[in-house]
Chains A and B, each alone.
Chain A
Amino acid sequence: DAKTTQPTSMDCAEGRAANLPCNHSTISGNEYVYWYRQIHSQGPQYIIHGLKNNETNEMASLIITEDRKSSTLILPHATLRDTAVYYCIVRVARDWGGSNYKLTFGKGTLLTVNP
């Protein structure tokens, strides 16, 4: 899996948008960008993933640059419950029978949402 780089920590005011950046300059053409988050004392939780088009779901939006070397996870209206460590991961999506099934986590970004 390609390596990702994320800031160690970020702060955001409650109700404002949280924009979490991720650099993945060595991403391969068949690798997706995944975002997971981990709230304190819980297991990681899937948020969203994408290949090259921007994606949106009920939790967040994912903006991937045209060259795919970086992406931004957007939480449009952050709440106190969004305080967590956010992990950006790149991997091949569909190769469950091969060697690329693993999610390789880095240290992620600790997002703290302040009241």
Chain B
Amino acid sequence: GAGVSQSPRYKVAKRGQDVALRCDPISGHVSLFWYQQALGQGPEFLTYFQNEAQLDKSGLPSDRFFAERPEGSVSTLKIQRTQQEDSAVYLCASSSGRTGKTGELFFGEGSRLTVL
């Protein structure tokens, strides 16, 4: 596609429910990132993939958070047993990981999760 696509755009979950957020990166992009953005704050790094390999998951706040990218393209961020503090916008970004506009990440519009 032309850009990074995320779905759903909005998700309301009851506390304790599991949610899955999907990211379709730009075709051919090697690197994929997930960020979490709380209201009024800048995005906070969660995890990073290079192709299908999850090279860094240091930003995942707890073991309830799990991300995968099994075929090196689409990625899913799963949150188990959601809590109110998980309410945030979850942003996905991709990058070619090659020369060119080095360091430029292309972000999706985010998935806004509200946990009641």
Contacts and interface: CB of A to CB of B under 8 A. Distances in A.
Interface of A: 32, 34, 41-46, 49, 85, 87, 91, 93-94, 96-97, 99, 101-108
B110 A43 contact: yes
Nearest to B92: A43
Interface of B: 4, 31, 33, 35, 40-45, 48, 50, 56, 91, 93, 95, 97, 101-110
Contacts of B40: 107
Contacts of B35: 105
A40 B56 CA distance: 28
Nearest to A49: B103
B43 A91 contact: no
A48 B102 CA distance: 11
12 contacts: A43-B93, A43-B107, A44-B93, A46-B104, A49-B103, A94-B102, A96-B97, A102-B56, A104-B45, A105-B35, A105-B43, A107-B42
